[in-house]
């Protein structure tokens, strides 16, 4: 167990392609930090740099207080769970679990006890003598995690470990990873592009975009007070509605600027829109375009000034498609962003 510290970390590929730049991040001992962002934002590259699978061209990475820039992956004492599991196909599950311990010269009795313990925790004891190809996706995933935990490393690195599983299994494994991590208290870095996975797993979330960090914070902080337009649009489902201030009527504008002047764009969460009339609120005259019933709630897609806005409401509000509806948004719940995309107020 150890903390991980990144200082000004950057990665430039030959040909001056900057994959990651200026990343500063301190991950506490036992913390689970999720790196999230769209494809190509540099989150996987950053994880692979921590693992030692990619060279670090700028800055320093330290694990447990020791700079590891020049160390081989094996010397960093970390374990990684890969997206495709990367189980050794020619070895039995037991041999897969033992491989890392054997390479490090762990004595036989200890190898046996650690493998037995990991097998018990992950409930893979019945498959220990099978080959990976004889296992289902979920079982392979468990073995991949088992291979990480038997080593008792300083940190776990997860590279989109659930993206090859079906939706139901993914939800189940997510809970298991969280429980396991809480129990073992091993520092973990988890990469995903799935914001639901990110929100539910993370102690702290790191939102990345185009190679740099947009914002770091707890899932609720990021949801409640996104610091940039990018974070605001990335976190939350359905995504936040953005409205250009120039398109607002003068009444609405007064409400918006009462909070903080200089806003260029405002963001309204779909659940911040109601049909309850309120003279103090921002008022949008809309036409219902599409209703998506999603069980306990409904997503109402409406047209406002030739753009689509989505509202999230409980139950099944009895709108008809094409119906005119007035929606209200409390100025206290809206997010204001300046022209450079930074949050105001």
Partner 1 sequence: MQSKRTVFPNKVLPYMLLLPQMAVTVVFFLWPAGQTLLSSFQRQDPFGLKTTFVWFDNYTRLFKDPHYVGSLGATAVFSIATAVVSIGMALILALAVDRMVRSARVYTTLIVWPYAVAPAVAGVLWWFMFNPTIGIFAFLIRKAGYDWNHTLHSTDAMILIVLAASWKQVSYNFLFFVAGLQAIPASLKEAAAIDGAGPLKRFWTIIFPLLSPTTFFLLVINVVYAMFDTFGIIDATTQGGPAQSTNILVYKVYEDGFIGLNLGSSAAQSALLMIIVIALTVVQFRFVERQVQY
Residues in contact with partner 1 by CB under 8 A are 51-53, 72-74, 78-80, 82-84, 86, 88-90, 99-100, 103-104, 133, 147, 151
Give me the least distance between CB of 188 and partner 1, in Å please.
15
Give me the least distance between CB of 183 and partner 1, in Å please.
22
CA dihedral 272, 278, 283, 287 (to 10 degrees): 80
Give me the least distance between CB of 68 and partner 1, in Å please.
13
The answer for residues whose C-beta is within 8 angstroms of residue 14's C-beta and 6 or more apart is: none
Give me the least distance between CB of 157 and partner 1, in Å please.
9
Q: Please choose, from the candidates 56, 45, 66, the residue with its C-alpha nearest in 3D space to the C-alpha of residue 157.
A: 45
* CA 271/CA 77 separation, integer angstroms: 45
Q: Which is nearer to partner 1, 80 or 240 (CB)?
A: 80
* CA 13/CA 114 separation, integer angstroms: 40
Q: Which is nearer to partner 1, 35 or 80 (CB)?
A: 80
Give me the least distance between CB of 155 and partner 1, in Å please.
11
Q: Which is nearer to partner 1, 2 or 240 (CB)?
A: 2
- Angle, helix 93-103 to helix 137-150, in steps of 10 degrees: 20
The residue whose two tokens read 């037991």 is 94
CA dihedral 239, 241, 242, 248 (to 10 degrees): 180
Q: Which is nearer to partner 1, 83 or 274 (CB)?
A: 83
* CA 118/CA 110 separation, integer angstroms: 12
In the structure encoding, which two tokens stand for residue 76, read together? 């960093």
Rg of the chain in Å (alpha carbons): 24
Q: Please choose, from the candidates 42, 88, 79, the residue with its C-alpha nearest in 3D space to the C-alpha of residue 209.
A: 42
Q: Which is nearer to partner 1, 87 or 281 (CB)?
A: 87
Q: Which is nearer to partner 1, 90 or 342 (CB)?
A: 90
Give me the least distance between CB of 131 and partner 1, in Å please.
9
Q: Which is nearer to partner 1, 147 or 255 (CB)?
A: 147
Give me the least distance between CB of 175 and partner 1, in Å please.
25
How do 32-36 and 187-192 pair as beta strands? parallel
Give me the least distance between CB of 73 and partner 1, in Å please.
5
Q: Which is nearer to partner 1, 103 or 237 (CB)?
A: 103
Please give the C-alpha separations between residue 183 and each of 114, 149, 154, 179, 186, in angstroms, as whole numbers: 16, 12, 15, 6, 8
* CA 238/CA 299 separation, integer angstroms: 8
In the structure encoding, which two tokens stand for residue 14, read together? 């030959």
């Amino acid at each position: 167990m150890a903390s991980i510290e990144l200082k000004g970390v950057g990665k430039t590929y030959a040909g001056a392609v900057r994959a990651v730049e200026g990343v500063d991040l301190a991950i506490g001992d036992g913390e689970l930090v999720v790196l999230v962002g769209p494809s190509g934002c540099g989150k996987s590259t950053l994880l692979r740099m921590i693992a030692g699978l990619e060279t670090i061209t700028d800055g320093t990475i330290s694990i447990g207080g020791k700079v590891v820039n020049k160390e081989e992956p094996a010397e960093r004492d970390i374990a990684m769970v890969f997206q495709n599991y990367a189980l050794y196909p020619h070895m039995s599950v037991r041999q897969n679990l033992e491989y890392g311990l054997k390479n490090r010269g762990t004595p036989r009795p200890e190898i046996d006890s650690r493998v037995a313990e990991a097998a018990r925790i992950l409930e893979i004891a019945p498959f220990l003598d099978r080959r990976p190809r004889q296992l289902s996706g979920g079982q392979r995933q468990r073995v991949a995690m088992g291979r990480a935990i038997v080593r008792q490393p300083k940190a776990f690195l997860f590279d989109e470990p659930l993206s090859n599983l079906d939706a139901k299994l993914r939800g189940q494994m997510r809970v298991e990873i969280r429980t396991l991590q809480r129990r073992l208290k091993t520092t973990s870095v988890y990469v995903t592009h799935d914001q639901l996975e990110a929100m539910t797993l993370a102690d702290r979330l790191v939102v990345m975009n185009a190679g740099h960090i947009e914002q770091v914070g707890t899932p609720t902080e990021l949801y409640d007070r996104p610091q940039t337009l990018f974070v605001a649009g990335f976190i939350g489902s359905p995504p936040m509605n953005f409205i250009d201030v120039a398109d607002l009527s003068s009444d609405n504008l007064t409400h918006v600027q009462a909070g903080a002047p200089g806003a260029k764009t405002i963001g309204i969460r779909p659940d911040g829109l109601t049909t309850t009339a309120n003279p103090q609120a921002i008022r949008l005259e809309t036409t219902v375009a599409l209703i998506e019933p999603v069980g306990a709630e409904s997503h109402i897609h409406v047209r406002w000034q030739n753009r689509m806005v989505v509202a999230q409401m409980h139950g099944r509000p009895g709108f008809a498609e094409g119906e005119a509806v007035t929606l209200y948004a409390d100025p206290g719940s809206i997010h204001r962003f300046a022209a450079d995309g930074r949050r105001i107020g």
